[in-house]
Amino acid sequence: MSSSSDNTGELIYRFLEQLWPYCRSITGDGVRQTLSDIQQHLQALKVLEIPSGTKALDWTVPDEWNIREAWVKDKKGQTIIDFSVNNLHVVGYSEPFSGKISKKDLLNHLFSLPDQPDLIPYVTSYYKRRWGFCVPYNMLRDFRDDEYEVYIDSDLEPGSLSIGEYVLKGETDKEIVFSTYCCHPSLANDQLSGVGLATYLAKWLSDKHRLKHTYRFLFLPEIIGSAAYLQKNADHLKKQVIAAFNLTCVGDNRMWSYLPSRSGNTLADKAILNLLKYNTAGYKAYTWNDRGSDESMFCAPGIDLPMVSLMRSKYGEFPEYHTSADTLGGTVTVEGLETTFNMFLKLINALENYAYPRALVFGEPQLGKRGLYPDLSIKGSTATVKHMLNVLSYSDGYHDIFDISNRSCIPVEQVLTQLNKLSEHRLVTLEPVNS
Ligand code: ZN
């Protein structure tokens, strides 16, 4: 399994440009259009529609929201806020409104960020009905008229919540889940990057002739989508899933971040920590207390799925987060997407080859007679076989490939290379004890 690419970052970036303009929310046609575009790459992607009012764990699927037009005009009839210019200008889930209102009333419906006065904030109100607009703080001083005309052409009525599900069957029923959310409008790192990465990882896997594990990709609205999906699928997932990853904030090239599962000691945690250790110059480790995304549902008590986030700059932590500055080119770069994609290929490669290797000979084997050891013993001549001997000596059936990597201080890819050589010579087996 080849584990690197040198142009997928570019392809993902172009795909994100295509998805960029849609006004996504937790329900509605923006999500459906996004899922339909993903189907251009993943024809077998199933779209599940879950009706408003359906129980979703402790939540209820809300009414569906769609918006066509929204603006504010001053007394001269000039449009001063326009949804068609930037979809962040409207509070997500704004109910319809049309009428003239005083400046004082309008200001009560405007949201801005005094600390980032030039940016439009991303604001939603899913569970309390209201309407509103989001503007740069610096724009507030331009509201000098005593009356304004407001128009929001939206629907907020029973419909459904859409989820994309793509399953690739492997040789075993044991599953690896990649989940991402597709509920933010035009925001690049906090969220579109995850959609692009998930699509291209699924596409890459779908080209493989042989997969050991079954892979499940989920494109769902954050939190409520997870709840709705788990309501139906938690029992199955609890039985089959060995590792799960929340794909979010994966497109900037600034740093690496790790957010653990609730228990912190799952295979997913172990794999990500190992990869970060050997493939990055450093990373920021967050704790479960820093969570803020779908892991809250997937790892909740009683569900306990092993979900971990490997991110670049974590949501909530980078200055452009949830503002109009989180753009393609502003936060998300081709290089960021490319390096993250390649890191996930390393992850998949390691998980596909996951094993507790066992030595097949008693005592340290004589490598020389198998052509694996230098036939002349002189100072320095055994340096090249050091890694092989280390890998072999940890192959006791109790250390998995990540333990062996950590103990022998080499990346897991190198462990796998050594194990391949050792198993060709029948010195180790990668098969489980009972098979
Ligand atoms: Zn967000």
Tens-digit pLDDT profile for residues 341-390:
999 999 999 999 999 999 999 999 998 899 888 877 777 777 778 999 99
Q: At what angle do helices 386-394 and 412-424 cross, to 10 degrees?
A: 80
Where residue 5 falls among pLDDT bands split at 50, 70, 90? Answer: low
Tens-digit pLDDT profile for residues 319-339:
999 999 999 999 999 999 999
The pLDDT value recorded for residue 8 is: 97
Distance 111 CA to ligand 1 centre (A): 17
Distance 370 CA to ligand 1 centre (A): 56
Distance 232 CA to ligand 1 centre (A): 24
Where residue 3 falls among pLDDT bands split at 50, 70, 90? Answer: low
Radius of gyration over every alpha carbon of the chain, rounded to an integer in angstroms: 25
Tens-digit pLDDT profile for residues 272-316:
999 999 999 999 999 999 999 999 999 999 999 999 999 999 999
| pLDDT > 60? residue 2 | no
356 close to 399: Cβ distance less than 8 angstroms: yes
Q: Average pLDDT of 71-98?
A: 98
The pLDDT value recorded for residue 135 is: 98
Cα–Cα distance for residue pair 165/176, rounded to 1 Å: 13
Where residue 434 falls among pLDDT bands split at 50, 70, 90? Answer: low
Distance 105 CA to ligand 1 centre (A): 28
The pLDDT value recorded for residue 165 is: 98
Distance 222 CA to ligand 1 centre (A): 8
Among 184-188, 247-251, 328-332, 368-372, the minimum mean pLDDT is found in 368-372
Tens-digit pLDDT profile for residues 189-229:
999 999 999 999 999 999 998 999 999 999 999 999 999 99
Distance 292 CA to ligand 1 centre (A): 9
CA dihedral sign, ordered 373, 376, 377, 383:
negative
* Nearest residue to 167 via CA among 136, 211, 129: 211
Stated pTM of the model: 0.96
Q: Average pLDDT of 157-182?
A: 98
What secondary structure does DSSP assign to 111-154, as a single string?
Answer: E--TTSTTSPBP-B-SSS----EE--GGGGGG--SSEEEEEEEE
Distance 243 CA to ligand 1 centre (A): 23
* Average pLDDT along the chain: 96
Q: Show Cβ contacts of residue 126 under 8 Å, excluding neighbours closer than 6 positions.
A: 26, 62, 92, 93, 224
The pLDDT value recorded for residue 1 is: 57
Distance 190 CA to ligand 1 centre (A): 5
The pLDDT value recorded for residue 66 is: 98
Where residue 4 falls among pLDDT bands split at 50, 70, 90? Answer: low
| pLDDT > 90? residue 423 | yes
Pairing of strands 79-82, 64-73: antiparallel
30 close to 23: Cβ distance less than 8 angstroms: yes
Distance 315 CA to ligand 1 centre (A): 7
